[in-house]
Amino acid sequence: MDSSKVKYFGRVGRQVVGARARVVRVVCDDVETRRNVLKGAAKLKLETGFERVYISPDLTKEQQTIDKNLREKLKEIRITQKEAKINHNEIIIIENSVRKVLYSLPN
């Protein structure tokens, strides 16, 4: 990642003795940089010393609620469909190179 494409980064919240590490907020110059950071997040876990680092996009409260409901539904579906995953606000599986939607958000 090109560090010159980062507008701002810093810790969120106040420092508390004995508490977990605070979240680091990173603001990128453009969408492409943001996309590259999020795409590379999975590779970070393979690096020594970064196994417990987690990167996620900043979501609105509504998006967080939708995401939580999808993850709960995914847990239910994975009892029978182990390969199910979330993709574009739908729970899908890929069978014989065909994308099959198991659950979609109600409109």
Tell me the per-residue pLDDT of 64-98, one tens digit each, with 9 for 90 and over: 999 999 999 999 999 998 899 998 889 999 988 89
Residue 52 lies in a domain: no
Q: How far apart are the C-alpha atoms of 87 and 50, rounded to whole Å?
A: 26
Task: Please state the pTM of the whole predicted model.
Answer: 0.62
Neighbours of 99 (CB within 10 A): 10
Residue 89 belongs to domain spanning: 61-104
Residue 107 pLDDT greater than 70, yes or no: no
Question: Which residue carries 């590490």 as its tokens?
Answer: 21
Mean pLDDT of 18-34: 87
What integer pLDDT is reported at residue 3 of this predicted model? Answer: 79
The domain tally of the chain equals 2
71 in the same domain as 40: no
Residue 53 lies in a domain: no
Residue 49 lies in a domain: no
Residue 27 lies in a domain: yes
68 in the same domain as 100: yes
Mean pLDDT of 28-54: 87
